[in-house]
Structures are given as structure tokens and as C-alpha cells.
Amino acid sequence: MLDRYWFGTVDRISPEAPVPVVRVTNEEDRLGGAANVALNAKSLGAQCTLLTVVGEDAAGDRLCELLAQHGVETVVGRDSHLRTVMKLRVIGRSQQLLRMDFENQPHHEVLEQMFADYQRQLPLHDVVLMSDYGKGGLAHVGRMIELARTSRKPVLVDPKGSDFSRYAGATVITPNRSELAQVVGSWHSEDELQAKAQALRQQLRVHTLLVTRSEEGISVFDDEGHFRQATQAREVFDVTGAGDTVIGSLAALLACNMPLRDAAVWANRAAGVVVSRFGTAVASHADLCALT
């Protein structure tokens, strides 16, 4: 995804309708979606490759340009039937006034054409990370997970939707609080949450379920039980991309053979860094060192 920001000043209300008039003074493009995940891993020193499909359009060109500028290796397919997802945010006085999404729902599996590329890239990497944004790119993800697990590669999935069965066999799934509730239903206590999370984990044959819980921090459910870390106390400016930071950081740290629970703690700290910044952002190695 391409995250585009229009920054401006608001001095008056439109005479045409009761809406603010934004005089745009600055424009900025940032990496969003899976590209932001890759950038978060790259910012911690990981050598990562982003495998994705974009449209044959200006937004896709700009996305590839930004990835190259940030030094993220890419294997990019172009699809004439796909519109590159772009989110345009209009900002006035440091407040988001409007967001416009430009996208289309593909009528086919857009990553199917990239499966041979996936097979070629798999032996070259230590960890596989799949970011699902419900845009049709991972409609048939099961075969990719199976191949990675057969190759003894950990598979991390940031899921989407109300059916997690397609992620069965993954190593780690990282839903947020509301995404988990869509699948297992609401809970009224920590004990009830643990019971539902562990039942889902066993049903999907997943090693670890890591739930991001916003101001409540993170919860890790695994064979050892339930581990929880509270959010680090800091001012929250913008939660955009916090989940991307968690899973991107987690993948980079697991690739360094850090134990998963320890990696989850540092991934949560990294997310605490980015929510104190505006828009899609990343946490660097220096940021994390400053927290020690």
C-alpha cells in the first residue's frame, strides 16, 4: 500500500458546505501495508525481501520507488487488473480530517502468479512473514505456509477476517484484539480470553498466538500458558501501523534466534515507539537501544 499525506492549514469553513477548507502546503508519500512491515524489519538491520503484486499504475511506480530508496529488496509483480492500494489522508492542524482509499477487489488470486518466485526466495531466508489486509492477495495462503513449514522456516502471519483456518500450521499469528474477537467471540475475563485463545491455537496447530491489545499491551499464548506485557507508558500520537511494527520487529528478532517470548517483549516496545510518532513510522535499532 502507498500511504499519501496532504498537510495543510485550516482557516475557514467552505461556503459550499459545512466542511473545513484545507490549504495544502505539503505532500508526503510513505510505505504502507506489507511494505511498511518490510521497512520495519529492515530498520532493525534485517536483510528482507518483499514479495508482492501492485498495479500497473502511478501508485505502484511510486511504491517501488520508495522501496528502492529505503533499500528494501523486492520481487514485484505487476497486474493490469489490480489497482495499487493507496490511502490518502488529509491533515489539518495535526489532525486527520479525511481519509480516501483507492483500491479494487481483485477477481483472482494476485499472488498465484508469484508462487515460483516464492519458491525461489524461500531457501534464501530464515523467516517467512505474511501480512494479510483482506485485499485478496492471500486468498490461498495455505500452500505457501505448508511449503515454508516443510522447509523448516518459521511462518508469521498478521491475519484478517473472521476465518483463521487458512492460516493453519503457521508458527505465529498476531491478531489484534478486535480481530481475535471476530473469530472466538468476546470475553469478559482474562481466564475466558486464555481459554478461547488456547482453544483456537490448538485448533489451528499454531505454536504461538500473539494478541496485540492496544493500551492493554500484548498477550502471548503458547504451550507454556499465557504471558502478558503491559504497554510502555508514553504519549500515544497515532496508532497507524503499530501492528506492522510488532510483526516486522518480531520476524527480525526471531531471525536472530531470539526466544519468541523475548522477541515479543521487544516487538511491543518497538510498537510503543511508533505510536508516539505521526502516521506510518518505524522503530530503529537505535530506538530500541535507547529503551534499555
Q: Which residue has the higher pLDDT, 151 or 271?
A: 151
Q: Note the pLDDT tens digit of each residue in 161-191.
A: 888 999 999 999 999 999 999 999 999 999 9
Residue 238 scores a pLDDT above 60:
no
- Whole-angstrom Cα distance, residue 113 to residue 98? 35
Q: In what order do the strands lie in the sheet with 86-92?
A: 20-31, 2-13, 86-92, 95-102
Report pLDDT for 279. Answer: 65
Closest by CA position to 238, among listed 36, 67, 9, 101: 36
53 and 76 Cβ atoms separated by less than 8 Å = yes
Lookup result for grid cell 498466538 = 209
pTM of the predicted model, to two decimals? Answer: 0.89
Q: Note the pLDDT tens digit of each residue in 198-215.
A: 999 999 999 999 999 877
Report pLDDT for 291. Answer: 73
Task: State the pLDDT confidence band at 130, using cuts at 50, 70 and 90.
Answer: very high
3, 158, 222, 244: the active-site residue: 244
| Amino acid sitting at position 66 | L
| Amino acid sitting at position 39 | L
Task: State the pLDDT confidence band at 145, using cuts at 50, 70 and 90.
Answer: very high
Annotated catalytic residue 223: no
Task: State the pLDDT confidence band at 233, using cuts at 50, 70 and 90.
Answer: very low
- Whole-angstrom Cα distance, residue 218 to residue 99? 28
CA dihedral 178, 197, 166, 149 (to 10 degrees): 130
Side-chain-side CA neighbours of residue 188 (13 Å):
0
